[in-house]
Amino acid sequence: MDIVFIEDLRIDAVIGIYDWERKIRQPLAFDVEMAFDNRKPAATDDIADTLDYKAVSKRLQSFVGESSFGLVETLAERCAEIIMQEFGVAWVRLKCAKPGAVRGAKSVGVVIERGKRPA
């Protein structure tokens, strides 16, 4: 199985359950791994045959930047759904982190996997 990844994609969003969090934008960091067979794009050297990580990144930036969820769990789930449905990905592993959200921790968040991981 091949994996296309996006690492440390930073997006500011309204996220959180506290009143003060609803009034500000906070940075989020995303790591995304997506199953994709890279043999065809490697053979054709044509971007049209790839899982375009720039297109995935732009879609997440747009969605997350306009979102306003209470929980990172909800946001992560919606992002995984977008990746699978709009980009035809069968398996995705997504980490959504809130840097600096907890004193003493670099970041906190969730890691989810959705779909069937190809062999």
98 in active site: yes
Q: What is the pLDDT of residue 1?
A: 83
Task: Name the active-site residue from 23, 58, 95, 98.
Answer: 98
Q: What is the mean pLDDT of residues 61-81?
A: 97
Return the domain boundaries, the chain: 3-115
Enter the DSSP assignment of 116. Answer: P
pTM for the model:
0.93
Q: What is the pLDDT of residue 106?
A: 95
Fill in the amino acid letter for 87.
F
Top CATH class, 3-115: alpha beta
Enter the DSSP assignment of 106. Answer: S
pLDDT in tens, 12-51: 999 999 999 999 999 999 999 999 999 999 999 999 999 9
Q: Are 12 and 28 in contact (CB under 8 A)?
A: yes
Fill in the amino acid letter for 64.
V
- The three-state secondary structure class of 80 is helix
Of 108, 109, 116, whose CA–CA distance to 90 is shortest? Answer: 116
Please give the Cα distance from 72 to 3 (Å, whole number): 24
pLDDT band at residue 119 under the 50/70/90 scheme: confident
